[in-house]
Amino acid sequence: MNGLRVVFMGTPEFAVPSLRAIHASRHQIVGIVSQPDRPKGRGQKLIPTPVKQAALELGLGPVLQPEKLREPDFLAALQALNADLFAVVAFRIMPEAVFAMPPQGTVNLHPSALPKYRGAAPLHWTVLNGDSQTAITTIFIQREIDAGNIILQEPRPVYPEDTTGDLHDRLSEDGAQLLVKSLDLIAAGEVVPQRQDNSLATPARKLTREDCLLSFDQPARAVRNRIMGLSPFPGAYTFLGDQVLKLYRARVIAENEQAGKPGTVLRAAGDQILIACNPGTVSILECQLQGRKRLDAETFLRGTPLEEGQVLGNGENEKR
């Protein structure tokens, strides 16, 4: 079986394992498309995207970084690469002038059980909603976002201790292998595309700052899911006094008992930070006070004593 000439399109760390996997396969990467370098840090130095950095390390190129995907110069450069197929992982919405260009189509790796969680944040919403199972899916891109015909789909578990970051790392590696399998099938002419059932589609919208402000006035399971689903980025937060307190990992201790006013610190000793919910109790396992490092509960309590009866949230430090 002859390999395909592939243009790889992606930007963040999630896409890097796929780039490496295709490079190690029988397929040939003839070009990279990534977001433009952006300024970062105090010096506002231009920083290459993770995909561009990986491509340079692997000696791959050329790397195209258009501001707009409809730029005539970009489209001409892309056409000149004479690719059989485009492989897309965590890139951006693209016009038909791009995704319809290669003769074998444009393939996208998506980290959900499509048609479930179409949109910008499928990993986050999987954990936010407390799902115990997800999937990795490859599709042919079409006009409607994430609605293309399915090439391959493989289920994957979501473990009770998983944050979105944990799921991200695992599915990025698993997805890379699924993407190569998909390219192999396409090269062999053995793909049998499956239509998605649009009636089962659910959105996975982009998260906002408002999504990250945590309310303890909800069941403990929902509080835990929000903390884990927003970890490590963008991060769930509440307030300790007038300081922002980010929460990264939590565990449900009790689900049905109403132990106190929502947000009340029920215990703050040893390695336990127990917070009342409505109903139930969560244990905060990792957190970060404004201007400080992310710490486990025991280390946090050594440097930031909490009093039982304090109430988190609303920018106030209340007593019961």
Same domain, 181 and 218: no
Same domain, 196 and 213: no
Identify the domain containing residue 107 by its residue range: 5-200
Same domain, 152 and 230: no
Same domain, 77 and 189: yes
65 located within any domain? yes
Give the percent of the chain with pLDDT over 70: 98
Domain count for the chain, please give it: 2
Domain end: 148, 175, 200, which one? 200
Give me the pLDDT at residue 40, please: 82
Same domain, 244 and 169: no
Summarize pLDDT for 23-64 with one digit per residue, the tens: 999 999 999 999 999 988 777 889 999 999 999 999 999 999
CATH number at residue 128: 3.40.50.170
Summarize pLDDT for 216-251 with one digit per residue, the tens: 999 999 999 999 999 999 999 999 999 999 999 999
Question: Does residue 292 have a pLDDT over 50?
Answer: yes
Same domain, 59 and 145: yes
Cα separation of 268 and 275, whole Å?
9
